[in-house]
Structure 1
Amino acid sequence: MAKYSVLIVGEVGRGKSRLLAALVDAMVSLGVGVTVVDLAPERMGVGAKLRRYLRERPRYLTDEFRAPRLEARSPDEELKLADENAEKAAALFKRYMADPTPVLAVNDLTIYFHRGDPSLFWEAFSAAQVFLASAYEGTSLRDRGSGISERERRLLEEVKAASYVVAL
């Protein structure tokens, strides 16, 4: 398990990604190896990619992610988008674990929690000495009956129990 874990939580638009970027920049500037796994969807005004705020150059892994609760028109479509996100995110976590750095920083962690395998997440978490993440926690985004919001909340509580939590 990561020796140190900081989880930044809050509603949409509160500055979670900016704070995470500042923490990543500080670590990189000290010469610490950092891998960023960026799950932000950058859709419909939600989920800013971390590279927008970074000044330093950590190893940066990302893909194109969707915002299921905002984009989907039905519970089935919401699950389909969440499954696609989970598959892409799992590939990024596996890339990290194949060559881990001391610090793992995950932007928009809750995108993975919609449908991703929790054991894969905990494996990546455990491969890091320091884990940093931003995660949505709020009431403005609700699912369409798919259950992804409840799953997200439940898994986020587990990470919060293992982390120092910064609520914005």
Structure 2
Amino acid sequence: MMRLKVDSLIGKRTIIIGDVGRGKTLLTLRIIKKLRELGFSNEITILDFAPSKILMGDIEAGGKLTDFGMKLNGINYYSDTIAAPRLTGRNVDEIIRLAQYNRVKCEALLLKFLENPTPILVINDITLYFQVGSLGLLPKVLGKASTFIANGYFGKSLKEDLGSGISRNERLMMMKLINFSDYVINLNEVDRVEVDC
């Protein structure tokens, strides 16, 4: 078990990583709840890059924070329709097309943040932005948010991409983001995280 004090994340860059079904979105939701309890509601922007929930056997993949019951009052929340390329693409071309579609949608959300930045930025499922391209707008975004919290896929369950290369690109960009981070919470290595103010 790991104990996480949310006030220690203020002014830091934190990345939450893990395989499908490890609780990345739920942990992010609990962190947001504690940030609100600490009085930061008006200082938070959330960019939700997650696709809608998809059932993978007996495990749910994806899911927006609002799918998990997040209340939006007082928080800048931006999202859009995002695809799950590896789970819904039928061939290499479709997987790449869906990943490029996601890139455009995510970039538009990042631009919304840059137009009206807040001290705290939370990104749910940042890996959807990383499936094609580079870090893109992320370094600029990191310069605007004094506190950055993001979660993203980092595992083996979604490795198969039909040779499209999106899994490799996603992993490389996640490694770069990890290198920019002050804290990395790897849910592949931790069974439970207790969240306190």
Q: TM-score scaled by structure 2?
A: 0.80
Distance in structure 1 (CA, Å) of the matches to 2:81 and 2:133: 16
State the match for 2:50 in structure 1.
40
Q: Deviations over 1:90-133 (max 9, x none)?
A: 00000001000111100000000012541312211221000001
Q: CA RMSD in A?
A: 1.5
**Residue 144 of structure 2 corresponds to residue 127 of structure 1:** yes
Structure 2: tracts of 5 or more residues without a match: 1-9, 56-60, 188-197
1:21 is the counterpart of 2:29:
yes
Indicate the SS of the match to 2:52.
coil
Q: Which of 101, 106, 111 lines up with 1:89 in the alignment?
A: 106
Letter of the structure 1 residue corresponding to residue 93 of structure 2: D
Aligned-partner SS, 1:118: coil
Would the aligned equivalents of 2:15 and 2:149 in 1 still touch at CA under 8 Å?
Answer: yes
Alignment partners' CA distance in 1, 2:93 and 2:173: 21
Q: Is the 8 A contact 1:8 1:133 kept in 2?
A: yes
Contact kept, 8 Å, 2:133 with 2:169, in 1: the verdict is: no
Quote the residue 2:86 is aligned against. 69
**Secondary structure class of the residue paired with 1:61:** strand
- Secondary structure of residue in 1 paired with 2:176: helix
| Displacement after TM superposition at 1:26 (Å) | 1.6
Q: Give me the whole-angstrom Cα distance separating, in 1, the residues matched to 2:148 and 2:116.
A: 15
Q: In the alignment, is the contact (CA less than 8 A) between 2:50 and 2:125 conserved in 1?
A: yes
Letter matched to residue 147 of structure 1: G
**Paired residue secondary structure (1:64):** coil
How many Å separate the matches in 2 of 1:50 and 1:111? 15
Q: What is the CA-CA distance between 1:54 and the residue it aligns to?
A: 2.2
Equivalent residue in structure 2 for 1:166, among 176, 179, 185:
185
> Post-superposition shift, 1:85?
0.5
- The separation in 1 between residues aligned to 2:25 and 2:70, in whole angstroms, is 10
Instruction: Extract unaligned runs of 5+ from structure 1.
Output: none
Mark the structure with the bigger radius of gyration. Answer: 2
More displaced 10-residue stretch of structure 1: 28-37 or 131-140: 28-37
SS at match of 2:122: strand
Matched, 1:147 2:170: no
8 Å CA contact 1:41, 1:47 repeated in 2 = yes
Residue 100 (str. 1) matches residue 117 (str. 2)? yes
Shift of 1:134: 0.8
1:162, distance to aligned residue in structure 2 (A): 1.9
Quick one: which amino acid aligns to residue 165 of structure 1?
V
